């Protein structure tokens, strides 16, 4: 059997599509669904392409056509997020830089976030700070109290101080300003999240599964700082917060 360059490109494209679909479902905590769909597709190829069973093949065709529409409905949020990210990646970098913050201003508010996290880490004050990426967080910002304030360590600490009206929820920072506080975020359905992670961690992970935002979590129980991005969350050294934010921006 001769394999041409066209066949190799075809195989690589299919593999890339399957891998992208797997990552999409993994972020939604539905990897078992991926393997089920893959096994069904293999069975369909065997029945229709190899065994040439016409009636069974026709039945498989019907199921796949309906199933494709069902998947679009079920995973509409994930697909929308994927299209947002795709559009953000292909935008012209020059236009993006026109609307970005100056380096001086950026450095200042990164330092303010770092100072606040250091202080809340020491006092074990629970916090959830979200920094917007290329995907708009307007729909989540609208669930909280609008502030439109400059980023400052003192303000962030006051927001998350226990029993204050705005402490329960997320702070969303957009274009170098605190846009809203006490915001409600989608909670991740991923069942592989470690048991010691609380609701803040699950909310941070849930948002980053749907958007390209960066979420910083300070644990109320241990004071440990975690960072969530691209549907993954990990604990970090308190001294590396600045680096994480700069890489995100």
Query: Between the CA of residue 233 and those of 16, 132, 134, 202, 205, what are the distances in Å?
Result: 24, 16, 19, 9, 6
Q: What is the pLDDT along the chain (249 residues), one digit of tens a residue?
A: 567 788 788 888 888 877 777 776 666 556 667 677 778 878 877 877 777 787 887 887 777 777 777 777 766 666 666 666 555 554 444 444 444 445 677 888 899 999 999 999 999 999 999 999 888 899 999 999 999 999 999 999 999 998 888 988 999 999 889 999 999 999 988 877 888 889 999 999 999 988 889 999 999 999 999 999 988 899 999 889 988 888 887
How far is it, in rounded angstroms, from Cα 207 to Cα 229? 9
Residues carrying CATH 3.40.1700.10, the chain: 96-248
**Backbone torsions φ then ψ of 92, nearest 5 degrees:** -70, 125
Rounded to 10 degrees, the C-alpha dihedral 125/229/239/128 comes to -10
How far is it, in rounded angstroms, from Cα 102 to Cα 135? 20
Q: Which helix (H) or strand (E) holds 234?
A: strand 232-236
Q: What is the pTM of this model?
A: 0.67
What was the pLDDT predicted at 100? 47
Which residue is it, tokens 């991740």? 188
The domain defined by 96-248 carries CATH number 3.40.1700.10: yes
Q: Distance between the two ends of the chain, CA-based, in angstroms?
A: 50
Which residues, in sequence order, are CB contacts of 148 under 8 Å at separation 6+? 177, 178, 179
Among 245, 191, 236, smallest CA distance to 218 is for 236
**In this structure, is the dihedral angle defined by the CA atoms of residues 157, 234, 180 and 239, taken in order, positive or negative?**
positive
Which residues, in sequence order, are CB contacts of 170 under 8 Å at separation 6+? 128, 129, 130, 140, 144, 181, 182, 183, 184, 185, 203, 204, 207, 215
């Amino acid at each position: 059997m001769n394999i041409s360059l066209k066949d190799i490109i075809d195989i690589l494209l299919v593999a890339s599509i399957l891998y992208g679909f797997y990552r999409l479902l993994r972020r939604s905590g539905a990897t078992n669904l991926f393997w089920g769909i893959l096994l069904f597709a293999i069975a369909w190829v065997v029945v229709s392409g190899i065994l040439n069973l016409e009636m069974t093949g026709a039945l498989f065709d019907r199921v796949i056509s309906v199933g494709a529409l069902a998947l679009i409905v079920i995973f509409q949020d994930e697909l929308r997020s994927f299209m947002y990210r795709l559009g953000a990646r292909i935008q012209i970098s020059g236009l993006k830089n026109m609307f970005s913050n100056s380096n001086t201003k950026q450095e200042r508010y990164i330092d303010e976030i770092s100072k606040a996290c250091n202080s809340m880490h020491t006092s074990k004050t629970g916090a959830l700070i979200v920094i917007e990426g290329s995907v708009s967080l307007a729909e989540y910002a609208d669930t909280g109290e609008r502030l439109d304030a400059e980023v400052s360590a003192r303000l962030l600490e006051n927001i998350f101080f226990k029993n204050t009206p705005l402490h329960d929820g997320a702070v969303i920072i957009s274009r170098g300003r605190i846009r809203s506080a006490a915001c409600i975020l989608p909670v991740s359905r991923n069942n592989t999240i470690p048991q010691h992670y609380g609701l803040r961690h699950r909310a941070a992970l849930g948002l980053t599964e749907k958007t390209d935002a960066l979420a910083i979590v300070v644990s109320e129980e241990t004071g440990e700082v975690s960072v969530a991005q691209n549907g993954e969350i990990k604990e970090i050294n308190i001294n590396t917060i600045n680096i994480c934010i700069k890489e995100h921006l």
